[in-house]
Amino acid sequence: MKIQEIGEFQLIERMNRSLQKNEGVVLGIGDDCAALKLSSGCLLIATTDILIEKIHFHLEQVTPEQMAFKSLAVNLSDIASMGARPLYALVSLGIPSSVSVEFVDDFYRELGESGKKYNVAVVGGDTSSSKSGLIVNIVLLGEQKEELIVRRSGAKAGDSIFVTGTLGDSAAGLKVFRTGKDTMAPALQKEADFVLARHSFPEPRLGEGKFLAENRLASSMIDLSDGVASDIRRLCEQSRVGARIFADSIPFSSEMKVLAESWKKDPLDFALYGGEDYELMFTVAKKDLKKFGELREKLHIPLSCIGEIVKEAEGISLVKDNSVSELGKTGYEHFRNK
């Protein structure tokens, strides 16, 4: 069914069916604004992402479920990296006439289901027609006590740098996606499925971020959206420090390693420059390492120490095969001509 056949009000009605309310939602869709409760004494945490067709995705290559999940997940990952708890989402859509009502229904259904999974109430948004391709704007609102939020700016020389999970899977998944999984050897299909899932359905590390914050274990934190090389630079800039990354300590999945070998690529490049892993990178101060060591197993997720924070003047370097080189940022930067 074409969107034009049903009109805006029926579209909002269909959205409403998939969206949830909780006791914090005093007013959801239907009034001029959503009205939302917050626990008193907490800070409101807000983040937003805009996703534009032909820049962030190609409509013929994604399902509505993938789009909905991932657009929510990348914002949840930002909330996780502050050590905060997500509460509410506002979603704006610009919908071209080529997009079917079924696509929009499936998008909102997945949004509702993912919202339930992560305890986020999708409380409103705006819909418009578009002559410019599909546009998704997501705003995520969360909360955390002021003294517990973890910033990018808290790292100090001497702190250890940790990451959750394995890195580079998403970039490998993107490569499989672009190459076409069906062109790959039958023996690599399992590995291909694994990295594709990691690319399309990244798990936001909400529990981990909140745990680190509430136990005051992390001195700084960022989520890995553009690859270690780019994101460590952001963290270091905000903290006015340098960093030394140990190549041999970067955690890879066995699946990604197998694929990288089959492509004759270095797995390290996927982790350093690949992006979209949405794992957490955080620093732990020397004085907190013991407590961190005692508590880390409660996270039920692999944690790897991949380097250490150094003084700002020492810059950002990569230690590999006993030699030290400058770690250049080569993450994807919007706008810049390459």
Nearer residue to its own copies within complex by CB, 7 or 302 = 7
| The only residue of 15, 19, 36, 259 in contact with its own copies, by rule CB under 8 A | 36
The answer to whether 147 contacts its own copies (rule: CB under 8 A) is no
Nearer residue to its own copies within complex by CB, 151 or 320 = 151
CB atoms within 10 A of CB 240: 12
CB atoms within 10 A of CB 30: 10
DSSP assigned state of 152: G
- Window 200-239: residues binding its own copies (CB under 8 A): 222-223, 238
Q: Least distance in Å: CB of 125 to its own copies?
A: 6
The answer to whether 33 contacts its own copies (rule: CB under 8 A) is yes
Distance of CA 47 to the CA centre of its chain: 12
- Window 79-118: residues binding its own copies (CB under 8 A): 79, 81-82, 84, 88, 90, 92-95
Q: Near its own copies by CB under 8 A, which window of 50-58, 159-167, 242-250, 314-322? A: 50-58
Distances 14 to 52, 104, 106 between C-alpha atoms, Å: 23, 9, 10
Could you tell me if 133 and 96 are in contact, meaning their C-beta atoms sit under 8 angstroms apart? yes
Nearer residue to its own copies within complex by CB, 238 or 330 = 238
Nearer residue to its own copies within complex by CB, 5 or 297 = 5
Sequence letter at residue 38: L
Expressed in angstroms, the distance from the first to the final Cα of the chain is: 41
The answer to whether 55 contacts its own copies (rule: CB under 8 A) is yes
The answer to whether 196 contacts its own copies (rule: CB under 8 A) is no
Q: Near its own copies by CB under 8 A, which window of 133-141, 251-259, 287-295, 305-313? A: 133-141
The answer to whether 153 contacts its own copies (rule: CB under 8 A) is yes
Nearer residue to its own copies within complex by CB, 41 or 180 = 41
| Residue 188 neighbours by CB under 8 Å, 6+ apart | 258, 259, 262
Residue with tokens 């490049």: 269
Nearer residue to its own copies within complex by CB, 36 or 229 = 36
User: What are the two backbone dihedrals, phi and then psi, of residue 69, each rounded to the nearest 5 degrees?
Assistant: -60, -50
User: What are the two backbone dihedrals, phi and then psi, of residue 86, each rounded to the nearest 5 degrees?
Assistant: -75, 150
